[in-house]
Amino acid sequence: LRLRAPTLSRALKGWVNVGIYTILGMVIIYQLHELGAVTQAVAILLGFLSFALSLASQNLLKDLIGGFLILVEDQYAVGDVVVIDDQGGLVEEVGLRVTKLRNLDGELITIPNGSIGMVRNLSSNWSRVNYAIEVAVSEDADRVMAIMNEVARELHADPAWRELILEMPEILGIDAITHHGVLIRMLIRTLPLQQWAVGREYRRRLKIAFDTAGISVGVPRLTLQQLPPQ
């Protein structure tokens, strides 16, 4: 709510301005017509100008409607981290016509609201660390999962991180067994925008725990066969 309030207030101010200018223009034209200043030739000219402006403003109207729907449907707001089509970043501005994102390289990306298709909001209500690691096939999977679970519970119990983690971390188990290794997945539900900080800390602690326990990560297994001489 704190993120969305300024976004909605700026958008509402923009729509109010559009409405005021539209009504003001209609009043001016009406008064000119009442005073007899709008002759038939002027009316025809205004008609052509209105037609030309309607053609030129089709994309603008599409952008305005797109911006309105983004706000009404609460797809994202200033301060969210989103991926729009193939562009991702922190939402810096949601206007009536465009959305502005700032990516990790510091680039400002401006996207017309009318061209926005699929939107992935990475910080709506809550976020999640979706972490998977491959360990060597020779490792004891139950032992590895026990270590991963212990590290996650210690992180959850740490006062410095407890407020950022919404619930007890969950280890899903083995997702795949390949020649690379055994893939084990862990989920940690966090506050919005905190999944990256929590994920980095969890990986740091897991690396230390694996080093202490002598757990090896997965390495591609290849078999070399020497052919007999011809």
Local mean pLDDT, 10-residue blocks, the chain (230 residues)? 61 65 66 58 59 59 77 84 92 87 94 89 91 93 96 95 94 92 95 94 96 88 75
Q: What is the pLDDT of residue 220?
A: 74
Q: What is the pLDDT of residue 23?
A: 73
Q: What is the pLDDT of residue 128?
A: 94
- Taking the model in full, what pTM does it have? 0.70
Please tell me the distance from the alpha carbon of residue 62 to that of residue 112, in angstroms, as a whole number.
Answer: 9
Q: What is the pLDDT of residue 74?
A: 81
Q: What is the pLDDT of residue 41?
A: 56
Please tell me the distance from the alpha carbon of residue 73 to that of residue 207, in angstroms, as a whole number.
Answer: 42
In the chain, the largest separation of any two C-alpha atoms, in whole Å, equals 108
